[in-house]
A and B are shown apart, each in its own frame.
Chain A
Amino acid sequence: MSAGARQIMARGGMEAQTAGLTARSVACPAPDLRELRELPVQRELRNLGELPVLPALRELIPGLARGSVLAAGEWGLLCLALAAEASAAGAWCAVVGAPGLGVVAAAEVGLNADRMLLVPEPGPNWPQLVAVLLDGCELVILRPPAQPSAQMRRRIEALVRRSGGVLLVAGDWEGAPVRLAVADREWAGIGDGHGRLRGCRARVVVTGRGAAVRPRERWLWLPAADGSVSAAAGPVSVSGEASARALPPGMRSTG
């Protein structure tokens, strides 16, 4: 910083601003307006080492580590639930290769539909597309149209690491450090010709590569009666009292 500029800055006030515009712009770069325009949450998000997950999922997985690949089993609500908290916190989420994405369900789980980019038909060039999307989106949910080769997988993993985003794969991904899967499902609210679907109790299992991740499992409402995700009690037998307890939160038992 030149002596003149320092003097002008020290003086401050309107006079200095009008008199020393050129000097000032050289001395201290003007704050980037684009950066200011972001929400404070977004700025925080950018500095975090991992993206947040829904409170109900935190016992299974504390967060989505940046630069990592997660395999989330077959395409379903679990993928969306994993992305929900980060999306609500301001992260952009791209969904690749899922033409049947239920956006209403995604919104009910907690994703922000305004921050979603959808590429339903990525075509044969999908690895390149994923690379492009990872440049700008914190989260990419990928349903691979084809099984990638080992070489392709390594290249994509390297890309994810470099970009600092998170790749959620709906499907199998060999060598993924964290894998989640729905092991059991039990639908509530529907009988034999009566009622309606009110929620699903699902046993979600997390396994990981190496000793870092111990296998864990939790029962979750996936989804609960209002479409959200919450923790559920363990399995219950289908006796009268127990099934009343098995109603998702927010539901009254009318029996």
Chain B
Amino acid sequence: MRGERARDRVLVVWCPDSPGEEGSAGPRALAAALAEFSPRVTALDPQACAFPARGPARYFGGEEALAGKILEALAARDLSCRVGVADGRFAAELAARAARGEAAGQPGSRGHPGAQVWPGSLGQRVTIVLPGESATFLARYPVSVLDDPVLADLLPRLGLHTLGDFAALPPADAASRFGPRGALAHRLARGLDPRPLVPSPPAADLSVSQEFDPPEPQAEVVVFAAKALAGQMHAALAARGLACVRVRARVVFSGGGESSRTWRHDGLLSALAVAERVRWQLSGWSTQKLIQNGSPAPDAQAGGISLLRLEPEQLVRATGRQLGLWGDSVVSDRVARVALRAQAMLGHDAVTRPVLSGGRNPSDQVAFLPFGESGEPRFSPDLPPGPGPGRLLPGPWPGRLPPPAPATVYPAPIPATVSDASGAPVTVSGRAVASASPAFLAEGDGPLMSVTGWAGPWPVTERWWDPARATRKARFQLVTEDGRAWLAAVQGSRWLIEAAYG
């Protein structure tokens, strides 16, 4: 699949003079002219457009013929352009610029290995890089064409002056030395595009709305209107072969209030189900207001509802959905209904499901996803190391606390005071040595409890390479006289209680 994408021929048209002439009319004229050749035109920047060349080239009888037609068509519109064709967008863009011999740090348009320049009638305005020759074509360009200032500075100092030098490194080494950006640049240097050319997404506004004039005091009427609106929205989506992942329902009250809530859709909800969600939203909104005002007869909805709007969000192609037939892969309808009603009362984020994840801290070992959303944990839980699907950064996590795990993990650690037998605060040196045995623990401003058992300090140093996220602390386990056990940490000479056991 990837190899096939790499072989995709891309044609780039570059109009160096277009924006100067008529302001923003240039790029639009360019895209409009190219629409006659391909429906899949993507604008790269105001001066350049690209489209996959394979289909049009076959229709017009070859890439040279296609390029000639394009130049003719653009000349008729008073646009002077260069055309480049290559495997992948990056190489094609450079080829288009090379056609005029003006690429940054140009090695000259002639004598490019693997490239053919058509002089004569086409007037040195077309460069075609032969299939499979993109890497050869790119090899002589300086690394500055990668458009990455950090790499452009770093690579020459390492003795890698051209893309060819850079591409000669093994991909794994490039990725491990230069990170994700380096890996991306390395793919470009090898003549592989990071992603296939994507045609522009449908720009049509598919949201539907209904105004109520005079404002509608009855929620039922609005819910009924919501059903009709949802029907319209679904019809519009279906006509374009799209589905929405979420739908946002906005209700505007004539009193000035507004309720906006996002609902999971996944292309599965019927019009009636959307209307039902609008009903929940309205009732949740009124109870919320009731609580805030504290009075049984709130004025929040006085005057009624003046506007209802449904906006489909995150449009995707409607490919249908296959549900599991057996077992518990699917949340049962009963539970989903209950969770959605709870979300209607408290908001989308208030009802969550835990996903076990990987990490050294108890708070990192679980992620909370709002109900209805699906996601992978950022890190995998404690799995044996080794490649496998879905294992982003496999465990084990050295330095992780061994079981048993704490039953309470405070979302925000509680400040604490830990002192020794003489009452002086316990500190931990840079070499992870405690100044004295902890004898007393106070939770926040609470009373002092004497410590009956303790262990530590266990130093934890995480992400030292990233100053923004680096942590350095020393952990202790403490047991107090009331039989409770705590996980505490000294961080920046402050004591924090992270979790409680039992």
Binding site for B on A (CB under 8 A): 34, 37-39, 42, 75-77, 80, 90, 92, 99-108, 113-125, 128-129, 132-133, 135-137, 182, 184-187, 190-200, 202, 222-227
**Besides the contacts A102-B406, A136-B337, what 19 more A-B pairs have beta carbons closer than 8 Å?**
A37-B330, A39-B327, A76-B408, A77-B501, A77-B502, A90-B328, A92-B332, A106-B407, A115-B328, A117-B351, A117-B352, A121-B350, A129-B346, A132-B345, A135-B341, A185-B502, A186-B483, A195-B455, A196-B455
Residues of chain B within 8 A (CB-CB) of A113 are 354-356, 366
Q: Contacting B351 at CB < 8 Å: which of A39, A118, A193, A202?
A: A118
B499 at the A interface (CB under 8 A): yes
- Top-6 shortest CB links A-B: A136-B338, A185-B483, A104-B405, A223-B404, A105-B405, A227-B404
In the complex, are the beta carbons of A105 and B404 less than 8 A apart?
yes
Interface membership of chain B positions 391-403, coded 1 if the CB is closer than 8 angstroms to chain A and 0 otherwise: 0000000000011
Write 30 A-B pairs (CB below 8 A) sorted by A numbering. Answer: A37-B325, A39-B327, A39-B328, A75-B408, A99-B411, A100-B500, A101-B408, A102-B362, A104-B366, A107-B356, A108-B403, A108-B405, A117-B352, A118-B352, A118-B353, A120-B350, A129-B345, A132-B342, A133-B338, A136-B335, A185-B483, A190-B455, A190-B479, A193-B437, A197-B479, A197-B485, A223-B403, A223-B407, A225-B404, A226-B404
Interface membership of chain B positions 334-365, coded 1 if the CB is closer than 8 angstroms to chain A and 0 otherwise: 11011101100110001111111000001001
Residues of chain A within 8 A (CB-CB) of B362 are 102, 104
B59 at the A interface (CB under 8 A): no
B181 at the A interface (CB under 8 A): no
Closest A residue by C-beta to B352: A118
Interface membership of chain B positions 3-19, coded 1 if the CB is closer than 8 angstroms to chain A and 0 otherwise: 00000000000000000
| Chain B interface category by residue count | 35 or more
In the complex, are the beta carbons of B409 and A100 less than 8 A apart?
yes
Q: Give the residue among A76, A102, A118, A200 with the most B Cβ atoms within 10 A.
A: A102
Q: Given A102-B362, A187-B479, A193-B437, is A117 in contact with B353 using a C-beta cutoff of 8 Å?
A: yes
In the complex, are the beta carbons of B455 and A114 less than 8 A apart?
no
Residues of chain B within 8 A (CB-CB) of A187 are 453, 479, 483, 485, 501-502
B287 at the A interface (CB under 8 A): yes
Complex: A42 Cα to B335 Cα, angstroms: 13
In the complex, are the beta carbons of B365 and A104 less than 8 A apart?
yes
Q: Given A104-B362, A193-B437, is A119 in contact with B342 using a C-beta cutoff of 8 Å?
A: yes
Q: Give the residue among A42, A113, A119, A120 with the most B Cβ atoms within 10 A.
A: A119
Closest Cβ–Cβ distance, residue A196 to chain B (whole Å): 5
Closest B residue by C-beta to A115: B328
B291 at the A interface (CB under 8 A): yes
B454 at the A interface (CB under 8 A): yes
Interface membership of chain B positions 190-219, coded 1 if the CB is closer than 8 angstroms to chain A and 0 otherwise: 000000000000000000000000000000
Closest B residue by C-beta to A132: B341
In the complex, are the beta carbons of A227 and B338 less than 8 A apart?
no
Residues of chain A within 8 A (CB-CB) of B410 are 100
Residues of chain B within 8 A (CB-CB) of A225 are 403-404
Q: B residues 147-165 with Cβ under 8 Å of A?
A: none
Complex: A184 Cα to B482 Cα, angstroms: 9
Complex: A194 Cα to B456 Cα, angstroms: 7
In the complex, are the beta carbons of A114 and B328 less than 8 A apart?
yes
In the complex, are the beta carbons of A77 and B350 less than 8 A apart?
no
Closest Cβ–Cβ distance, residue B57 to chain A (whole Å): 50
Residues of chain B within 8 A (CB-CB) of A224 are 404
In the complex, are the beta carbons of B338 and A135 less than 8 A apart?
yes
B224 at the A interface (CB under 8 A): no
Complex: A132 Cα to B453 Cα, angstroms: 44
Closest B residue by C-beta to A75: B408
B368 at the A interface (CB under 8 A): yes
Residues of chain A within 8 A (CB-CB) of B437 are 192-193
